[in-house]
Structure 1
Amino acid sequence: MAVPVPWACCAVLAAATAVVYAQRHSPQEAPHVQYERLGSDVTLPCGTANWDAAVMWQVNGTDLAPDLLNGSQLVLRGLELGHSGLYACFHRDSWHPRHQVLLHVGLPPREPVLSCRSNTYPKGFYCSWHLPVPTYIPNTFNVTVMHGSKIMVCEKDPALKNRCHIRYMHLFSTIKYKVSVSVSNALGHNATAITFDEFTIVKPDPPENVVARPVPSNPRRLEVTWQTPSTWPDPESFPLKFFLRYRPLIQDQWQHVELSDGTAHTITDAYAGKEYIIQVAAKDNEIGTWSDWSVAAHATPWTEEPRHLTTEAQAPETTTSTTSSLAPPPTTKICDTGELDSGGGRSAPFGTRVPVTLALAAAAATASSLLICPTLSPQSPAPCEDTPAHLQRSRRPEPSPQTPVSILHTGRRTFCVLFRHNL
């Protein structure tokens, strides 16, 4: 007959395993949420465990150093934002958590910054608020709007959580509005309030689609156009005036023009060729304040396109001889004074044959005066006479015998060139 002892042992082992599994995977109670002020010290107890119980602590699953413990309690000093997290303590002989704390480190709220503005006058206005310093923990705001003794409805903005909208019930009312905002969080509470007249908060949005263009053939003009802000509901009944400012991009000083009406202006004192930056602001004709500046437009005044300079080839000097178009250009023979004194003989030339224009240019570049005289023929140069008016640069007294003289032969015509050097 079989004895069922082995089956009993298996049953006991299975039960023990189930207990351990249940301890490790049983549903845990929700952690205790605790808020503490930035920079403060905090002591976290390990639930109901005795002070001398053998425990260990973790934060976000990471073991903490034993020197942070005071018995079974965890001591954190000089709290920083990084101390926020999920803290849990365990018995050393098991991994079953005894206690969990979800710690949030933050600040109490300071006085809110509150402002109200009407950019859709006369439909209504909106109020917005924010904290000057973040608290790093959740805040709750409460807004109250009063018109005299009447409470006004403030509709939450669907896109901006710290803004609400109020509709005007009575236009041109002399009764003041009062808006109050209170804020609270787990560490404190604060509040603020403002009082104002209806017309003092009117401030349009900036003008839209600002465009600047150069004016053709006017190097000092720029034509600027813009549109009334689309949020301004009735520009016919509540017209706007505009304020324009402009400056060269390379300068810091603005020039200003105030316009009582219209959505265009021509700048007439721009610097030619300089890029300009232009902005426009808007304001109700009678009440309120100026809008913020529009998006900047950039433009450069008209400039004339550079013309391409062309040099026409000079026609060669005409001669009486019939030569081919491929013949070399006329040349000039430069002779010294000894050759001139010998009656135009050709026994001692010291120069070379060069183009006429080149020889004349070289002589003019080195002389203080130049006189060109036609002669009768290359064989018998005559005394110099006055040059024709279209060739004469200056008239000088008859040169002294020491003045260098050169003879220029061009085809069948001869010139003597007299020039005086500056020594």
Structure 2
Amino acid sequence: MKTKYSCLAMSSKLSLVKVLRYPCLVFFIVSDPITQQYEQLGTDVVLKCESSLVGIEWKHNGIWIHHNTKMHENGQQLTLMEVKKHQAGTYSCHDPENKKVLSVVELHLGFPPQQMNVQCWASQYPEKINCTWDIWPDTHLRTTFISTYRLGLAAPDPLNECVQFDINPYSCQIRDYKMFADLPYLVNVTAVNPLGSLTVLHHFFVENIIRPDPPVNISLYPVHPGSNVLLLQWSPPPSWPQLDYFPLSYLIRYKRTGAKQYRTVGPYERTSFLIMGNRPGSTVHAQVAARDFTGMGLHSDWSTVVIAKL
């Protein structure tokens, strides 16, 4: 085995370890593959050197290791006590006489998936259902997800893929589903990384999770110069696909200068609203939310706030 120090990364048939030192980049080139080792943060970790020599010496990211109470050698092993995140990286063991590389371990530290929350919303009803999830605490490791769904809570209903997209790996989309189904849909999301896996089940009735995106293009201004009547206008959310067949209704909330709470009115089918009874010099804040015309599901989040000063 040979140790090569170079400021350039050049290797064709040999395994190449990550950059180990700056500004001159230091590489180890070894004939055997680098061992990938995954361990949990906060635990004791044992690294093994593939050699029978005694008095092995170790480097971490190209720097000789100085032993302390949290790190010690035992023959061909290096033990790291209660490992912290900064201790991840490349470990190489060396011949104590000529300092040649004996073997290399790439240590990855993190956690298995521990907790996950899954939510699904039909913000593009009746065409698509979007499911999202978040996982905590951070695993600090590359975590992949498997997402499926079925109609009904048990077999024999077939499993279908909830399609994931690279743009957001914490989400998937359901496009093939039945409206007004008598049975709930069951979404199954499994998080997987080298330290473990976690599966969460989430069920829903489609019509209960209808929730449009907020309205857009909100504006608020006097109906004519000098008027104390304000005209609030907006546009439907562009993600809502079939307004002609599945119209939306709207809630409006507004408050004037000095008011502690918003006043909420609606729902209305139109996309404008007159706010009257305003005093000269007052300031009005207003927002709009959308909901399926039939009242199924929930209303959207409130739109951005618009402000008009008289």
The interval holding the TM-score normalised by the smaller chain is 0.7 to 0.9
Residues matched between the structures, number: 278
Equivalent residue for 2:261? 253
Question: Taking structure 2 as the reference length, what is the TM-score of the superposition?
Answer: 0.83
Match of 2:181 among 166, 173, 185: 173
For each residue in 1:23-58, what CA deviation from the matched residue of structure 2 results, as whole angstroms up to 9, or x when unmatched? 3346442221111111111122322234xx122211
Structure 1 residues 147 and 215, CA gap change in structure 2 (3 angstroms): same
Structure (1 or 2) with the greater helix fraction? 1
Structure 1 residues 100 and 250, CA gap change in structure 2 (3 angstroms): farther
1:189 aligns with 2:168: no
1:23 aligns with 2:5: no
Q: Any gaps of 5 or more consecutive residues in structure 2?
A: 5-28
1:64 aligns with 2:65: yes
For each residue in 1:298-322, what CA deviation from the matched residue of structure 2 results, as whole angstroms up to 9, or x when unmatched? 2112xxxxxxxxxxxxxxxxxxxxx
Indicate if the aligned counterparts of 2:216 and 2:234 stay in contact, CA closer than 8 A.
yes
Cα distance in structure 2, aligned partners of 1:217 and 1:66: 78
Match of 2:302 among 274, 277, 293: 293
Indicate if the aligned counterparts of 2:254 and 2:264 stay in contact, CA closer than 8 A.
yes
Cα distance in structure 2, aligned partners of 1:23 and 1:108: 36
Equivalent residue for 1:277? 285
1:110 aligns with 2:118: no
The one-letter amino acid paired with 1:24 is: T
The one-letter amino acid paired with 2:128 is: G
* Relative contact order, higher structure (CA 8 A, sep 6+): 2
Structure (1 or 2) with the greater strand fraction? 2
Equivalent residue for 2:46? 43
Match of 1:135 among 139, 146, 149: 139
RMSD: 2.0
For residue 99 of structure 2, give the secondary structure of its aligned residue in structure 1: coil
Match of 2:238 among 218, 230, 236: 230
Indicate if the aligned counterparts of 2:36 and 2:106 stay in contact, CA closer than 8 A.
yes
Q: What pairs with 1:22-421 in structure 2 (closer than 5 Å)?
A: 23-25=2-4, 27-50=30-53, 53-67=54-68, 68-72=71-75, 73-148=77-152, 149-216=157-224, 220-248=228-256, 251-286=259-294, 287-301=296-310
Cα distance in structure 2, aligned partners of 1:236 and 1:293: 23
For residue 156 of structure 1, give the secondary structure of its aligned residue in structure 2: strand
For residue 302 of structure 2, give the secondary structure of its aligned residue in structure 1: coil
For residue 3 of structure 2, give the secondary structure of its aligned residue in structure 1: helix
Indicate if the aligned counterparts of 2:287 and 2:304 stay in contact, CA closer than 8 A.
yes
How far the C-alpha of 1:249 sits from its partner, in A, is 5.9
How far the C-alpha of 1:168 sits from its partner, in A, is 3.8
The one-letter amino acid paired with 1:113 is: N
Cα distance in structure 2, aligned partners of 1:246 and 1:86: 58
How far the C-alpha of 1:276 sits from its partner, in A, is 2.2
Structure 1 residues 169 and 74, CA gap change in structure 2 (3 angstroms): closer
For residue 54 of structure 1, give the secondary structure of its aligned residue in structure 2: coil
- Bigger Rg, structure 1 or 2: 1
Cα distance in structure 1, aligned partners of 2:111 and 2:92: 24
The one-letter amino acid paired with 1:58 is: K
Cα distance in structure 2, aligned partners of 1:168 and 1:38: 41
For residue 93 of structure 1, give the secondary structure of its aligned residue in structure 2: coil
Q: Any gaps of 5 or more consecutive residues in structure 1?
A: 1-21, 302-423
For each residue in 1:316-346, what CA deviation from the matched residue of structure 2 results, as whole angstroms up to 9, or x when unmatched? xxxxxxxxxxxxxxxxxxxxxxxxxxxxxxx
Indicate if the aligned counterparts of 1:208 and 1:229 stay in contact, CA closer than 8 A.
yes
Question: Taking structure 1 as the reference length, what is the TM-score of the superposition?
Answer: 0.62
For residue 24 of structure 1, give the secondary structure of its aligned residue in structure 2: coil
Cα distance in structure 2, aligned partners of 1:58 and 1:249: 66
